[in-house]
A and B are shown apart, each in its own frame.
Chain A
């Protein structure tokens, strides 16, 4: 436990020392807030709140896909990783440290989105709704963490970078994150429930407003979690087998 915290601290330290990595994951959602949400729905409290929740989901997704997908793949290529395995601790503290640091970075990446929403739009949430949203962030981080880990453990770092960049935008767009809850284009309404981003964003919307979740989206989110966990677990074990068996 103490060691997990030590690993968390140094993971964060390494991340913070390269500030562009911190800025990068928050960049796209924040810019989307400024360019699309603020001018088009900033004056409408309900629309602005939903849009903010969408951008928060977006940030959670992209941060996790990138930090795990690329971070894990890069670490696997470094001899530092096997060296740590020779220290008198198993792989668990490092893994726990990675997840804790990842969650911390996720929450940090949300700050600019929330600040823009509070300062430049009419988006408002009550204190209980804010706490519910915070809890929901942790829940929706799960599928995207697993997706990032699956990418990071399955692919070499160059391929992982490309795949992370290729998947994140279609997931956001296809899941309807860039549209208000009930006015997505027809084809997106058709495919969205089958993407993990939809279930995630609907949970966020329900946390901050009066939104009724589509059961299909929620069931599919559960399916995604199971499938991504299986893929991540498979990739992790395969990597362990290749490097440490």
Chain B
């Protein structure tokens, strides 16, 4: 069953196109990560799906209906920004207040317990630490016993323990059959939780694939060198020449170097740098506008991936198919 979908969803703010013909299907029981830099369109897509904004063109659906209609929002849960919690209300009061909007809310005690808030029930939210506010904000998404939750940067600003606890709560919800769409800047967080990753950049879906396939992309390296003429080498993308310097992307920098040396081309000033996932996606997609999906799966390398704050040590992961 498709619980949420976007069909060619486009959103413009004046001259700016924040979301550009995005297609997305969320199936019941999926845990999907939405990855992308600031300004990629993550928040806009979320706002469309939860009914806060209208599409400029295209369509969005929640449980087959218009998210702008409150009836279709009964089975979703959304995280407020923790900076906006009413400072004078107590934790328990905020929960009761949100509960009143749902037909069958989770009992307060159970919610407090699940999110480690039991000791804080009588505290005013204005007096909570950033991490405690964050936990309350995430807990609020689960008040109405939702089938689908939208978690926007759920663990930003949390310490390691709190982050693990929150991940555990999200996993528990998912294990009970819940569907999750979570956004993050961090591949690590998405790897930890999600099975399927949707990468947004400049308002477009750049990739929609398994965690494993996306991780391969994180091995992309940016290479620059000075060479008079570069032969055709395998695994090379996005070649550009600026002031005699050749810049390119490769999915296997080790192999690239071996091939380069073997080719006998005279080169100098070789530099190999990690690149962020977003850069990799953008370079790959803009370099080859005819290819809709960046085809990098199957890139095998033993290089240590270290990309954009993602410190992955495990080389083997079992990436389940998204629609399992």
Give the interface of A toward B (CB within 8 A). 2-3, 6, 10, 13-14, 17-18, 78-83, 85-90, 244-245
Give the interface of B toward A (CB within 8 A). 50-54, 70-71, 73-74, 76, 78, 80-81, 83-86, 88-89, 93, 97-98, 100-102, 124, 140, 144
Query: Contact at B88–A86, with CB atoms within 8 Å?
Result: no
Tell me which residues across on chain B come within 8 A of A3, comparing CB atoms. Answer: 100-101
Query: Contact at A83–B70, with CB atoms within 8 Å?
Result: no
Query: Contact at A83–B80, with CB atoms within 8 Å?
Result: yes
Specify which of A14, A17, A78, A87 lies most central, judged by the most chain B CB atoms within 10 Å of its CB: A87
Query: Contact at B102–A86, with CB atoms within 8 Å?
Result: no
Query: Contact at A89–B101, with CB atoms within 8 Å?
Result: yes
Number of A-B contacts (CB under 8 A): 64
Tell me which residues across on chain B come within 8 A of A88, comparing CB atoms. Answer: 70-71, 73-74, 101-102, 144
Tell me which residues across on chain B come within 8 A of A89, comparing CB atoms. Answer: 70, 101
Residue of B nearest to A77 (CB): B84
| The residue from B89, B100, B101 contacting A13, defined by CB atoms under 8 A apart | B89
Chain A nearest Cβ from B217, distance in angstroms: 32
Specify which of B73, B84, B102, B144 lies most central, judged by the most chain A CB atoms within 10 Å of its CB: B84
Given A80-B80, A88-B71, A88-B73, A244–B52 Cβ distance below 8 Å?
yes
Query: Contact at B93–A13, with CB atoms within 8 Å?
Result: yes
How many Å lie between the Cα of A83 and that of B74 in the bound state?
Answer: 14
Specify which of A80, A83, A86, A89 lies most central, judged by the most chain B CB atoms within 10 Å of its CB: A86
Tell me which residues across on chain A come within 8 A of B84, comparing CB atoms. Answer: 78-81, 83
Tell me which residues across on chain A come within 8 A of B50, comparing CB atoms. Answer: 86
Tell me which residues across on chain A come within 8 A of B78, comparing CB atoms. Answer: 83, 86-87
Query: Contact at A14–B88, with CB atoms within 8 Å?
Result: yes
Chain A nearest Cβ from B247, distance in angstroms: 40
Query: Contact at B52–A10, with CB atoms within 8 Å?
Result: no
Tell me which residues across on chain A come within 8 A of B97, comparing CB atoms. Answer: 6, 10
How many Å lie between the Cα of A10 and that of B98 in the bound state?
Answer: 11
Tell me which residues across on chain B come within 8 A of A85, comparing CB atoms. Answer: 51-52
Query: Contact at B93–A86, with CB atoms within 8 Å?
Result: no
| The residue from B52, B89, B101, B144 contacting A82, defined by CB atoms under 8 A apart | B52
Chain A nearest Cβ from B212, distance in angstroms: 33
Tell me which residues across on chain B come within 8 A of A87, comparing CB atoms. Answer: 70, 73, 78, 98, 101-102, 144
